[in-house]
Amino acid sequence: MDNGMIFIINPISGKRGKGAVRKERVDAYIKVKERGLNAEAVLTEYVGHATELAQQAIENGASRIVSVGGDGTMNEIAKVMVGTDIPLGLVPMGSGNGLARHLNLPLDFDAALEVATSDHVRGIDTGEVNGHPFFNVMGFGFDAEIGRRFNESKGRGFMTYLQEGLKALFTYRSCRYTLLPKDGPVSLDAYIVAVANSSQYGNNAYIAPDASLKDGKLNIVAIQSPGFFGTFDLIWRIFSKAIYGSRKVKTFCAETIRIRLSRPGFFHADGEIFECNEEIGIVARPRSLQMVIPSSQFS
């Protein structure tokens, strides 16, 4: 839509209000005359379609793009908006809603629509790994393995994620990593190496409780193998914002970092899985995405 607002809707993300009803609710919101919205709503039809729709909207001069879906939909849309001055609104309808929770966006559909169409816009940091933008967390190891299993499963939601995690718990083994920040290398055997732009994976699972979207840095969290019983302590710490208190956790911040793996493998970027060679590069992109946020987040 030329110079208008476009809502890009994933009809199958998450578990709430799936299907055509999402578009019907957005259409009803747009049609209220008092709002005076010049907008249209479109449904995604396949993986990657949201990226195509967002790119087309940018080329057509859209004034704003609103993602209605989960973290994956938001990632598909936002990755072509990084570096532009077009605001991104977010109506979270996914399983985890990590970025939305970090920003204190409402999870209620109607309330989220109100925020997404408001004038409260601020630039937020993003990350980039091997050319792939990410907005919440990217990482290697156990969480990438869970993400791979989750993506291949038929179920969705927190319980499916938990079930896949418990399955992986009995088979996954640590890997040797060499972290290469500017101030010198650090080598360790790690169960998870997470690089966080925002504070959590989703569902209030905090991997980097003090992460900020406006400091121009990424939080690196390396977790050594906790052992079977230590895993339950680690899970408690993640959901209690107490992960930094574990002896198994090493943390630091960096604007850029290279990470060397002991063998080729894969990583996830906001849950999307990518194969990689032994060394990859990661960089923070300060204030590179214009985001519509709640007025309470202006401080």
132-286: CATH topology? Tumour Suppressor Smad4 (2.60.200)
Confidence of residue 299 (pLDDT cuts 50, 70, 90): low
**For 125-170, how does the pLDDT look when each residue is reduced to its tens digit (9 = 90+)?**
999 999 999 999 999 887 777 666 666 566 655 566 566 555 556 5
Average pLDDT, rounded, for the chain: 88
Which residue ranges make up each domain of the chain?
A: 5-118, 132-286
Give me the pLDDT at residue 164, please: 54
Q: Which residue type occupies 247?
A: R
- Which of the listed CATH numbers 3.40.50.10330, 3.40.470.10, 2.30.30.90, 2.30.30.760 matches domain 5-118? 3.40.50.10330
Give me the pLDDT at residue 158, please: 59
